[in-house]
Amino acid sequence: MEFDTKVAVIVLEDLAIWQKLNVTAFLATGIAGAAPHALGAPYEDASGRTHARLLGQPMMIYKANASGLLRAYRQSIERELTRAVYVRAMFSTGHDEANREAFRREPPDAPDLVGLAIRGVKNGVDKAIKGLSLHP
């Protein structure tokens, strides 16, 4: 199936594995929350139990160093892509309100990003992630 949009999750390459997984999970929920129309129908198992809906298209996971992450962030703003962000300070908070406050304190043009998810038209996302490699 061909999609008009693309979703890319970019994670700082030198994080601990638990941090990479945590950041990826949070960022995926941000994209799903920003694009509820992109969610598929609920899943149903063979016994008829209903399970939560998932995003109806693949999410590609990329790795980046700090400068690559910041470049993708700036490109996503320039191209007006949907963004979900995770900054290093959010590792030391305990709830959503504190996370938003931590992000608000970051320099707007150069936050200390550890993760970024972007969604938008395919060529816009491709240009924002240019030069990044898929996460192994």
The pLDDT tens digits of the residues spanning 54-66 come to 999 999 999 999 9
How many helices and strands in the chain, by DSSP H and E?
Answer: 4, 7
Using pLDDT thresholds of 50, 70 and 90, give the confidence band for residue 1: confident
Which residues, at least 6 apart from 51, have a Cβ–Cβ distance to it below 8 Å? 42, 43, 44, 45
Among residues of the chain, what percentage have pLDDT more than 70? 100
Most distant CA pair in the chain: distance in Å?
A: 51
% the chain with pLDDT above 90:
96
Q: Residue 113 belongs to a domain with what CATH number?
A: 3.40.1490.10
pLDDT at 136 over 90: no
Looking at the whole model, is its pTM more than 0.75?
yes
pLDDT, tens digit, 9 for 90 and up, residues 118-130? 999 999 999 999 9
How many domains is the chain built from?
A: 1
**Domain that includes residue 65, residue range:** 5-134
Asked if residue 49 has pLDDT above 90, the reply is: yes
* Cβ neighbours of residue 123 closer than 8 Å, sequence gap 6 or more: none
User: CA 84 to CA 119: how far, in whole Å?
Assistant: 9
Residue-wise pLDDT for 12-29, tens only, equals 999 999 999 999 999 999
